[in-house]
Chain A
Amino acid sequence: MITIENLRKSYGRLQVLKDINVSFEAGKVVSVIGPNGSGKTTMSKCILGMALPDGGDIRINGESILGQHAYRSQIGYMPQIGKYPENMKIRQVIEMIRDIRKDVKEVDEELVGLYGLQAMYEKRMGSLSGGTKQKVSAALAFMFNPQILILDEPTAGLDPISAEILKCKILKEKKRGKLILITSHIMSEIEEIADEVMCLVDGNVKFHDTIQDIKAQANEDRLSRAIAKVMNEED
Chain B
Amino acid sequence: MNKIIKYVFYDIIRNKIVLAYTLFLLLLSIGLFNLGGSPDKAILSLLNLVLLTVPLISIVFATTHFYNSYEFMELLVAQPINRKKIFMSEFLGVACSLSGAFILGVGLPVLLFGVSITGLYLVFTGVFITFIFVAMAFLASVITRDKAKGIGIALLLWFYFALIYDGIVLFILYTFADYPLESATLALTALNPIDLGRIIVLLNLDVSALMGYTGALYKSILGSLWGIGLAFALLFLWVIVPFISSSRIFSKRDL
Contact = CB atoms under 8 A, between A and B. Distances in A.
A83 B81 contact: no
Interface in B232-255: 252-255
A72 B80 contact: yes
Interface residues of B, number: 23
B7 interface: yes
Interface residues of A, number: 27
Contact of B82 (A69, A84, A85, A100): A69
Contact of B81 (A79, A85, A100): A100
Interface stretch (B66-74, B98-106, B121-129): B66-74
B254 A45 contact: yes
Interface stretch (A17-25, A91-99, A185-193): A91-99
Interface string B72-88: 10111111111100000
Contacts, number: 57
Which of A49, A93, A96 is the most central at the interface, judged by chain B CB atoms within 10 Å of its CB? Answer: A96
Contact of B78 (A70, A77, A86, A88): A77
A85 B69 contact: yes
Contact of B4 (A83, A85, A100): A100
A71 interface: yes
Contacts of A73: 80
A77 B255 CA distance: 15
Contacts of B75: 83-85, 93, 97
A15 interface: no
6 contacts: A69-B82, A75-B78, A85-B69, A85-B71, A96-B7, A97-B79
Given A50-B74, A85-B11, 10 more contacts: A45-B255, A50-B77, A69-B81, A69-B82, A69-B83, A71-B80, A72-B81, A96-B7, A97-B79, A100-B3
Closest 9 CB pairs of A and B: A73-B80, A72-B80, A83-B71, A51-B254, A77-B78, A85-B72, A69-B82, A50-B255, A85-B71
Interface of A: 11, 45, 48-52, 69-73, 75, 77, 79, 83-88, 93, 96-97, 99-101
